[in-house]
Structure 1
Amino acid sequence: MFSPYYKRSGRGDPLDHASLNVALYGPQHRWVMTERGRGAVERDASNLVIGPSAVRWDGEALTIDIVEGDTRLFVPWQRPVRGRVRVFPEALNRTAFALDGAESHIWHCLAPRARIEVEMSSPGISWSGKAYLDHNRGAEPLETGFNTWHWSRAHLNEGALVCYEGERGDGSLFASALRFGADGVPEPVDLPPIAQLPPSKWRVDRRTRSDIGVAEVRRTWEDTPFYARSELASRFAGEEVVAVQESLDMRRFSSPLVQFMLPYRMPRRAR
């Protein structure tokens, strides 16, 4: 949905603009988002192949086999990024939610709680821990439907809480909070108070929710001209939590400067 090539093409053939995005943070950081054409894409009900990488669902886990190279500004060669990620849902949610009245944008939290196992051979790192799995789809460009959005998710002692809010393209506002039980079933709950966050280094406005109207940015993982992803210390449902938060500004995404910059972070190959 962020592909500059797909945008320029008129968005007629999404399978001709496929990529696997991998973001590793920390001392061994890597960034992967190489777009490939239709000839490099295969899919069926349980499998998706994009170039040399593949994603498959076996009924128990989502397995992601990564065979990619990283992208760095002003560096012409790529470092190999190789490994396997396995996501084990603790519960599956079958209910999807429309983010607009026309139902042009759908969000589906598939697994509000999950386990993850990461085994990377290049760079040589591995870990296991908590995970989350969701899915977005739409019938119109994202920048048509939205000006901004803010999203956050936290594991609770039982289940998880997700907050979603923003401004649609027509200027109307939306906001919701969903608590997912241990069985994955969602239940709307009252929105916690707004907790303002400092802007990112690129001056992207950030916002989240917290029981006490206060949250702390522990780390900013992704900081771009139109998108920021952060780790927060917050409080939801009476619990002290570590939350993942993202803020997106689609007006910035649509600017000529950002569209000029994107290919440097998202190269394209035919296969």
Structure 2
Amino acid sequence: MRAAGLWLAAAFLALVAVAAFAPDLLAAHDPLQTDVMAALQPPSGAHPFGTDQSGRDVLSRVVHGAARSAGIGLLATALALLIGLAVGALSGVAPRLVDAGLMRVTDVLMAFPEFLVALIVVAVLGPGGVNVAIAVTIAAVPVYIRLARTQTLTQRSTEYVEASRILGVGRMRAFRRHVVPGVLGALSVLATIGIGSAILAAAGLSFLGLGPAEPDPEWGLMLSGGRNVLGQAWWISVFPGLAITLTVISATVLGRALRRRLDGSAA
């Protein structure tokens, strides 16, 4: 059962990747083309996911929305990983005063829910897809910093790092060759799980009107657009909601599987 779940998760994420990079393979309609005469049509052969208030094909908008929704999540996660690696590793090798200062700032940020931090940041920066990615990145960075620092301290005390130092390998060279790869491996596992959280946070901000604006197809924005006609046209919100849910679940399943494998290897 666990293997089947992993394969299903991987298959769905592969489908999302195809939708993001080659949407025309999955969607036949223009996601921005309106047809008032075809507004609010239920799912049918011509429109498998139905149409929205403007007569736009919901399937095409969900497919084309994968590039924006998943793209924002991937961008935010990649930035959070890189910043967390740099700051966390620096904190792990820095003098005690610098380390304490960085950790106190990290603790303050971690004291607030990630979505609240992202909401405050995007409210200051203004709406837009790029600003949402920045906000989600800032909200997620503290976790990566904390893990990178912990892994740096752990890797520095390992036998092979000590052996390399005894053999005359320079401090920075030993750090780059032995410490950074181990820290990056742990952060990569966290990032796999974090992609789902980032997509969910970005969709939540878009739902509140702080992300991409109409008529751009984006999953959170589509959810928001269908809430007022949910009783009349449930498909407008249900299908992008399913896309968000399944993407988050799939990324989490793969991330947890990688973490179990890493823990097993470490053991």
TM-score (norm 2): 0.23
Q: Which has the higher strand share?
A: 1
Where relative contact order (Cα < 8 A, 6+ residues apart) is larger, the structure is 2
Q: Which has the higher helix share?
A: 2
Who wins on radius of gyration, i.e. which is larger? 2
